[in-house]
């Protein structure tokens, strides 16, 4: 199933996340720093949702209190809560 998330407080404008059960199949982050967002996406793909949340939650970027990786963890938490 595909989910769309609008991140807050970061340079990226949208995250498109495809999951199958509790596994992340594909992540596309629109906007932001391409090298970082593509890297984070590739590292998340094929992993369990809870594993990625645990790795990325709370990572800051430049004093913003959040980051694209942190926003991805928040998107995954939202997906989990919507499916519960």
Residues 15-25 pLDDT 10s: 999 999 999 99
pLDDT at 84: 82
Expressed as residue numbers, the domain containing 27 is 2-83
Q: Which one, of 66, 65, 55, lies nearest residue 24 by Cα?
A: 55
The predicted-structure confidence for 39-72, as pLDDT tens digits, reads as follows 999 999 999 999 999 999 999 998 999 999 999 9
Contact 14, 68 (CB under 8 A): no
Number of domains in the chain: 1
Closest C-alpha among 70, 81, 83, 79 to residue 29: 70
Distance from C-alpha of 60 to C-alpha of 65, rounded to nearest angstrom: 5
Which CATH number fits the domain that encloses residue 32? 3.90.1010.10
């Amino acid at each position: 199933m595909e989910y769309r998330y609008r991140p807050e407080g970061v340079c990226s404008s949208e995250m498109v996340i495809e999951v199958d059960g509790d596994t992340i199949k594909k992540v596309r982050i629109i906007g932001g720093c391409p090298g970082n967002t593509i890297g984070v996406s590739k590292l998340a793909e094929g992993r369990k949702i809870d594993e990625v949340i645990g790795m990325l939650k709370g990572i800051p970027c430049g004093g913003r209190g959040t980051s694209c990786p942190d926003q991805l963890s928040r998107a995954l938490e939202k997906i989990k809560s919507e499916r519960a």
